[in-house]
Structure 1
């Protein structure tokens, strides 16, 4: 039987199945299913085609998608149509993201609702609320151990509160972003409890083995992610069995080789979409498929799974986008980005190399990344961030570092020492996260202000904060602010006094919202006021600069190792562009006229709002930058 015949045969079975459904399906949904079914069918056969229950599982999945579409509100169906008419909406120069923990920033969901006027003042169009679902008490990885995807943590509110907030945010022009934590559940999820109790259906939802034979075989090729919590990839159960737990011992990996797991998680995904979520952050995408003898990261099936989830969304909730979270080799990060997989992706390489450049006062590795690793397929965008809720890992490619005579391993250890403050002369006051004394590996935790020198009283601290955000705002895609950084909040060192948090240094950079600092945001005699005023000014300029839409970027090199340069061309292709030059060094950099000789002399400094004559050169102070509207000769 050919693939085409299989598709036709199975499509006919689906048509008959739909005709027997008690719940009717409208013509718009049928048309969408007809468009997406060949893709979904191909992906499902690639993942599960050898199983005797493969077609039955596919029919169940179609029912899940159609039921979710039928439950979608008229408001959200209208959003689907609006997004279809403007599929590049997320590429606008007006896009600006904010991210926060609900409890740390606003107390609860009602507190977030009360902050909407501030979000509008700041210019947000995208708000990522960190995991807010029911989770275990005590240590729960900041909410990334989910016990129920359909229940909000009672301390934060209810699902009805979340739906109402999503609607009110949308009215304010702000898209709600939530995590879809689909690699694992908490060990307190109902599925996990049933698996532990020996229910054969739910035992197959996880990867459970009776002894160490297969865990030992897998661990010969997998890596330890959180060695402080447990060695290897497995943890013991109370009955002597072993279960896969990539991250923390209370986070049990799901078994996507079982199609029932895929269908169940598709149902959870569509439930969230129907609450009004517009972007789902796909957590830990690299880890979702396992195969013996491999690292069990970024396997081909991981991409097929994401594409299949994408196809399900296109049927039931097509306005929703995926954002990839893949902290892997830079080449692998880009593999997840496409209109058919994840339309958005964090840009961990630019984030890490911004901090690398500030520590070394050398922008060459950052420049190389912009030159060679920035381009994306049409219909996609980076999410550029200075830091997030998570640690900073040095994810640059060793082969890129070698081009500058840098040995990747020792360089990472230097960066760790520098940002922890162990290196003589460091301006940073960060914490090590998951430091492994055996390998020397570690990652870095800290707020932007503490890492950039403000906590240490370094004279360049404020400029570094602004420079790092200026790069995130000008390189393309969606810039993302960790809320609190815009008023230069410092580390919360009190996490060390909390027995539930002292083992996770990332709580240092998740401080409670400082009412004092936010009250100072208009007072330029304060650090908070100066940083806020400068960042708010950049946000306003960016929103008024069409060249900053999309991802297109043209490298612009200077003779200065400390200066990173690029142009953001105008969409009309007429030779206009915005030239960005940024100096990560501690000394002034003078850009001579011959460097800009290919540009007309008259330019406009968009940040200062004054004309500039390029024939006189451009002077960049230490940690300074310019956004210049220019025209090619």
Structure 2
């Protein structure tokens, strides 16, 4: 077990070794002292705690910091000083494929005003990189069909001016040092959020980027959405409760669906059948071990199910009220449906995931202000949730407290604030569910329904509509 003196000696040795290789100013030295312990711990968890690797990574970080442009340095220091805001109630991620949504990276720049007005703070551009001949991803070259790395840099700069951070997903490939070097390179090009599939590698990369590119975030990308869809299929909210409770203290990405197929933790064959046999509300497409489909099609909108739009709203009510960075798939906010034309493309016809990677649904965007249309109603519901989230300080931070509800179809949880608590209740069943009075007896008799903006009595219990939810500001009784 290391003593405080041992830790100080190790830090001093690392700092001296880095200073022997490159210029270390006072700010960089301070960042080394603060973040090297986390880096040491992360390397040790992967049995890669060699002092040489530690020094190599810290040196690479300082060299990258020394070469960062002045505007990135200033902006990064501002982001680092307000790190909590990245997980605040104002943070909102949006994800898309650049070619499917806007044609290419240049086309995405034209979408920035709408993204800003919608409240997006992080834009995740899915897989914008070229591939080598062996199929591996080259993080230093842009996909020729989308635009060069210079185009990605231009997009990052334009987004930054509008208060939006550019995010990219990166998969570890090769040595830790090479991977981290690539991230530092991209951070120098303006990428501010990295979504890393390997949680252990993310834990290594995060302190290196904190030294070499202050304000740049490294997040483990783990949407974990299948529990929600399992609850919709069965009316049993137990898996959803467990998934939600595990988000206490989490600051990573959360989403209602993933770019890949949804894969089940249990009962895969039965659940896949419920989403693909055409007899239920869902219109999913079976994949190898999972189900593909847009949020609206999986929820029942495509099939014309009377509860389809309610399921979309409920899914996003959970997304926007649990800890983490909510990642909305662009198109979902207007209820984009599955794209059957992928079967006409020889390069995509064998991959059903392209059903939920359709082109930008311009027809549905044209209807987004028309409440007489499904697209308009879904857009209204989601924008209302975002607006209410902005005015709900209890949704800041990462604290979540479980709330047991003795109703199989209902998941409940609390988001505590300084002066009050927001109680979220979600009914996944296709019929109303009554939460008994005794369950709510720990709170004052009236609560504020945040979505409706009205006070409601809860002393006699509360009935949730089918596939319905409540965000309630409640007052615990002493």
Q: Give your verdict on TM over 0.5.
A: yes
1:159 — aligned with what? 149
Contact persistence 1:7–1:41 (CA under 8 A): no
Q: Structure 2 vs 1, CA of residues 615 and 117 (structure 1 numbering), >3 Å: closer, same or farther? A: same
Q: Which of 317, 328, 348 matches 1:470?
A: 317
Counting only pairs closer than 5 Å after superposition, residues 3-152 of structure 1 correspond to structure 2 as 15=16, 18-19=19-20, 21=22, 24-37=23-36, 40=39, 47=47, 55=52, 60-135=56-131, 145-152=135-142
Q: Structure 2 vs 1, CA of residues 478 and 36 (structure 1 numbering), >3 Å: closer, same or farther? A: closer
TM-score normalised per structure 1? 0.70
For 1:17 and 1:356, the matched residues in 2 are separated by 51
Pair 1:374-2:247 in alignment: yes
Pair 1:505-2:352 in alignment: yes
Pair 1:364-2:238 in alignment: yes
Pair 1:417-2:234 in alignment: no
How far does the alpha carbon of each residue in 1:368-388 deviate from its partner, in whole angstroms, 9 at most, with x for none? 3334x2322xxx514221112
Q: Which structure 1 residue ranges, 5 or more long, are not aligned?
A: 185-253, 255-260, 287-302, 326-345, 396-407, 435-441
For 2:37 and 2:444, the matched residues in 1 are separated by 52
For 2:373 and 2:384, the matched residues in 1 are separated by 17
For 2:290 and 2:415, the matched residues in 1 are separated by 32
For 1:31 and 1:13, the matched residues in 2 are separated by 12
1:447 — aligned with what? 294
2:428 — aligned with what? 584
TM-fit CA distance, 1:457:
1.5
Q: Which of 187, 190, 197 matches 1:273?
A: 187
TM-fit CA distance, 1:505:
1.0
**Partner-residue secondary structure (3-state), 1:507:** helix
**Partner-residue secondary structure (3-state), 1:615:** coil
2:399 — aligned with what? 552
For 2:295 and 2:84, the matched residues in 1 are separated by 30
Q: Structure 2 vs 1, CA of residues 460 and 73 (structure 1 numbering), >3 Å: closer, same or farther? A: same
Q: Structure 2 vs 1, CA of residues 16 and 352 (structure 1 numbering), >3 Å: closer, same or farther? A: closer
Q: Which structure 2 residue ranges, 5 or more long, are not aligned?
A: none
**Partner-residue secondary structure (3-state), 1:474:** coil
1:217 — aligned with what? none
For 2:189 and 2:131, the matched residues in 1 are separated by 19
How far does the alpha carbon of each residue in 1:330-387 deviate from its partner, in whole angstroms, 9 at most, with x for none? xxxxxxxxxxxxxxxx341xx211101100012122223334x2322xxx51422111
Q: Which of 207, 213, 217 matches 1:317?
A: 213
Count, aligned residues: 474
Q: Structure 2 vs 1, CA of residues 82 and 516 (structure 1 numbering), >3 Å: closer, same or farther? A: same
How far does the alpha carbon of each residue in 1:444-488 deviate from its partner, in whole angstroms, 9 at most, with x for none? 111011111111111111111111111111122222211111111
For 1:566 and 1:40, the matched residues in 2 are separated by 34
How far does the alpha carbon of each residue in 1:474-514 deviate from its partner, in whole angstroms, 9 at most, with x for none? 12222221111111111111111211111211111000001
**Partner-residue secondary structure (3-state), 2:459:** helix
1:207 — aligned with what? none
Query: CA-atom RMSD, angstroms?
Result: 2.7
How far does the alpha carbon of each residue in 1:43-82 deviate from its partner, in whole angstroms, 9 at most, with x for none? 66874577xxx73x65554443232111111222223322
For 1:38 and 1:604, the matched residues in 2 are separated by 45
Counting only pairs closer than 5 Å after superposition, residues 527-546 of structure 1 correspond to structure 2 as 527-546=374-393
